[in-house]
Amino acid sequence: MTQPVSLTRYLVEKQRAQGHIPGQLRLLIEVVARACKTISHSVNKGALGGVLGSAGSENVQGEVQKKLDLIANEVLIDANEWGGHLAAMASEEMDTIHAVPNRYPKGEYLLLFDPLDGSSNIDVNVSIGTIFSVLRMHDEGRAVREADFLQPGRCQVAAGYCVYGPQTTLVLTVGDGVAMFTLDREQGSFVLTGDGVRIPQETQEFAINMSNMRHWDAPVRRYIDECLQGKQGPRGKDFNMRWVASMVADVHRIITRGGIFMYPWDKRDPAKPGKLRLLYEANPMSWIIEQAGGSATTGRQRILDVPPQNLHERVSVILGSKNEVERVTRYHLEQAGQ
């Protein structure tokens, strides 16, 4: 029987064989994975750990913070600030960047995260997760500024998410494909359970919040209308719909069996580019999806090419199986006459 491969071994072997994971990046990924393990334990305790419910505060985007949002944020900061691998962090739950305090050594990386994605699902015991993105700080030796984080998604050097569902699964890319690790609770370690993960190009499953239909833009309406017409319509096949309302869970399903996920721009608040945040939600997920052979666009542009203007900016997101994403993107470009 072959020996299970732990995350540590996977990363060490990758560093040794290809030399493209520097030691600090390997340490960073291991520290984030350890933090995810801690978050997973808190999530599992639920009401017994007193972690459910609202924290009674709001984040910079005016969203009510749950206790677990803040717990997960603290866990990630505490785990990462002393190891010497980071220059600074940024999070959905912090207004501004968190520079590594002067009492600790500084590293060359910047870590961004959504500590607890799918917050509305915490109290109802439905899958939630952590999303993270790693960038390089280009000008070491000076104080980190928010502007250092404003790099397009194609500059990421690592990205991943951990889904806390029936199993706790960590999905990771460092730019050479996608690997999947399942938490072995008895051993306390993440074990490789999928390597070179590929998304099926064709799909018959879409994920969108249908309650927003009346606000959608014409290309989104057209795509979903055609799916809903099923075998009798232009697509000539029946479609199924899923919407977990945790991006991590929806993306994980798509990584596993294909599909398309959309949280597009809509007319509810036209000045708002979308709901999901570019730097710590859309970018890491888009890179993972692309690395698994899928595609990710705003409808008009590749997400990884969007130049960020500020830390918490939002973006329209369409990602998943390549052919479907290309179709929705084509509908947008046709509307724009391009």
Residues lying near Mg ion in the complex (CB under 5 A): 114, 117
* Beta carbon of residue 210, minimum distance to ligand AHM (angstroms, whole number): 10
Contacts with 330 (C-beta within 8 Å, 6 or more apart), sequence order: none
* Beta carbon of residue 162, minimum distance to Mg ion (angstroms, whole number): 13
**What are the contacts of 135-141 at 24+ separation with CB within 8 A?**
135/109, 135/110, 136/108, 136/109, 136/110, 137/87, 137/88, 137/108, 137/109, 137/110, 140/87, 140/106, 140/108
120 versus 187: smaller Cβ distance to ligand AHM: 120
117 versus 148: smaller Cβ distance to Mg ion: 117
* Beta carbon of residue 152, minimum distance to ligand AHM (angstroms, whole number): 21
Q: Which residue is nearest to Mg ion (CB)?
A: 117
Q: What is the spatial distance between Cα 324 and Cα 322, in angstroms, rounded to a whole number?
A: 6
Which residues on adjacent β-strands are paired with residue 320?
260, 295
203 versus 246: smaller Cβ distance to Mg ion: 246
Q: Where on the chain is the footprint of ligand AHM (CB under 6 A)?
A: 63, 92, 114, 117-120, 209, 245-247, 263
Query: Which of the choices ligand AHM, Mg ion, none does residue 115 contact, using the CB cut-off of 5 to 8 A by kind?
Result: none
User: In this structure, are residues 165 and 249 in contact, taking their beta carbons and an 8 Å threshold?
Assistant: yes
Query: Which of the choices Mg ion, ligand AHM, none does residue 132 contact, using the CB cut-off of 5 to 8 A by kind?
Result: none
Query: Which of the choices ligand AHM, Mg ion, none does residue 209 contact, using the CB cut-off of 5 to 8 A by kind?
Result: ligand AHM
Q: What is the spatial distance between Cα 203 and Cα 257, in angstroms, rounded to a whole number?
A: 8
DSSP of 63-80: PEEEHHHHHHHHHHHHHH
Query: Which of the choices Mg ion, ligand AHM, none does residue 266 contact, using the CB cut-off of 5 to 8 A by kind?
Result: none
User: In this structure, are residues 175 and 291 in contact, taking their beta carbons and an 8 Å threshold?
Assistant: yes
137 versus 285: smaller Cβ distance to ligand AHM: 285
73 versus 119: smaller Cβ distance to ligand AHM: 119
